């Protein structure tokens, strides 16, 4: 559910910056389109968020706070800021992604606080 992203663009992206913010793979399309000066298609929904200002240091945080991770049509996990919830049978049976996230993070949920419970280290440089 989480992999590292290394961005190198001398003179544009500052070197040595480490962030715990989320940049999802679907964010690459609108971000790279903006860099290339290409317009996004307007005949379909684009799930990605343009993250260029975040990568260039013009914005202190990512514009994405979370996402639901699917395998085919089944939600398998949800990530929100520093919290991650693997799918449980009730999570998968919720039917809609927003219901699944709400049930996973609602009162009594067993979500994981990554920094405090799993030894996850955040280095803010």
Q: For 104-120, what is each residue's pLDDT tens digit?
A: 444 444 455 555 444 44
Helix (H) / strand (E) element for 28: namely helix 28-36
pLDDT at 32: 97
Q: What is the rounded distance in angstroms from the CA atom of residue 85 to the CA atom of residue 72?
A: 18
**What's the average model confidence in pLDDT over 15-33?**
93
pLDDT at 89: 56
Length of the chain: 125
Q: Which residues contact 34 (CB under 8 A, 6 or more apart)?
A: 50, 52
pTM of the model: 0.66
Residue 103: pLDDT over 80: no
Residue with tokens 């996402």: 67
Q: What is the rounded distance in angstroms from the CA atom of residue 75 to the CA atom of residue 14?
A: 35
Helix (H) / strand (E) element for 75: namely strand 74-80
Cβ-based neighbour number of residue 22 at 10 Å: 21
pLDDT at 92: 45
Q: What is the rounded distance in angstroms from the CA atom of residue 42 to the CA atom of residue 90?
A: 36
Q: For 30-44, what is each residue's pLDDT tens digit?
A: 999 999 999 999 999
Q: What is the pLDDT of the chain when averaged over all its residues?
A: 77
């Amino acid at each position: 559910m989480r992999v590292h992203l290394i961005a190198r663009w001398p003179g544009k992206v500052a070197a040595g910056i480490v962030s715990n913010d989320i940049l999802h793979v679907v964010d690459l399309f609108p971000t790279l389109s903006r860099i290339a000066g290409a317009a996004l298609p307007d005949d379909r929904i684009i799930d990605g968020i343009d993250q260029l200002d975040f990568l260039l240091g013009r914005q202190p945080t990512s514009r994405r706070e979370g996402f639901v991770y699917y395998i085919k049509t089944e939600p398998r996990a949800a990530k929100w800021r520093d919290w991650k919830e693997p799918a449980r049978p009730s999570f998968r049976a919720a039917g809609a992604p927003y219901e699944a996230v709400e049930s996973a993070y609602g009162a009594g949920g067993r979500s994981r606080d990554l920094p405090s419970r799993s030894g996850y280290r955040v280095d803010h440089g």
